[in-house]
Amino acid sequence: MQIKRAVFVSSLTGNQKFAGEGLPQIAIAGKSNVGKSSLINCLCNQGKLARVSSEPGKTRLVNIFRINDDFHLVDLPGYGYAKVSHGMQEDWGRMMDSYLSGSEHLCHIFHLVDIRHDPGQNDIQMQAWIQANDIPCTVIATKCDKVSRAQANRSIAVICRTLGVQPWDVIPCSSETKEGKDKILHRIDVILGKAEA
């Protein structure tokens, strides 16, 4: 897939549903600061489409982008930012629940984890939730420019073991070097039924 057009559609806050004309939706989940916004910008070849923040916990809305006329990319609010208040964490949970439970067009989740760190408790919970809800998922191990290839392979093994996913469902990537970008775009084609796995 080549992303020719990517436009911001809207942000959801509370109990809004997003039908999006019935186009398939691919959501991006992961800890604050894992690289969700950077990945969106990298895939879409647009520097500032999704805001990239070096301050964790800033993206607290569900942000929706329309990609070509093919699908919607949904940037979910990051989890696990320790410094937010209890109330804010509850808001996060409600927002996720209301998006995820109301989204009949959600067909896949890209679950991002930082390749430099073992998955944490909230990554494990997120993945368990995805599996319990039977949502097809690809784990994207971000920031692979920060580790050697040998270290990346070791991390992928740990990710598979801790999250209970298969190696072919993990794609290492870097928004800096664009490593893994083609694989992710191909995965999107497969998800949308435009290519063979």
**Which segment (59-67, 85-93, 121-129, 132-140) binds Mg ion by CB under 5 A?**
59-67
Any alpha helices (H) in the chain, and if so which ranges?
A: 36-44, 86-102, 121-132, 149-163, 181-191
- Choose the contact partner of 103 out of Mg ion, ligand GDP, none; CB within 5 to 8 A by kind: none
Neighbours of 5 (CB within 10 A): 11
The angle subtended at Cα 69 by Cα 176 and Cα 59, nearest 5°, is: 45
Query: Measured in whole angstroms, how far is the alpha carbon of residue 130 from the centre of its chain?
Result: 12
Within 8 A by CB and 6+ apart from 168, the residues are none
Nearer to Mg ion by Cβ, of 49 and 156: the residue is 49
Question: Cβ closer to ligand GDP: 35 or 119?
Answer: 35
Task: From the list ligand GDP, Mg ion, none, pick the one residue 108 interacts with, judged by a Cβ distance below 5 to 8 Å according to partner type.
Answer: none
Instruction: State the residues that interact with ligand GDP by CB under 6 A.
Output: 30, 32-38, 52-54, 59, 78, 142-143, 145-146, 174-176
Instruction: State the residues that interact with Mg ion by CB under 5 A.
Output: 36-37, 59
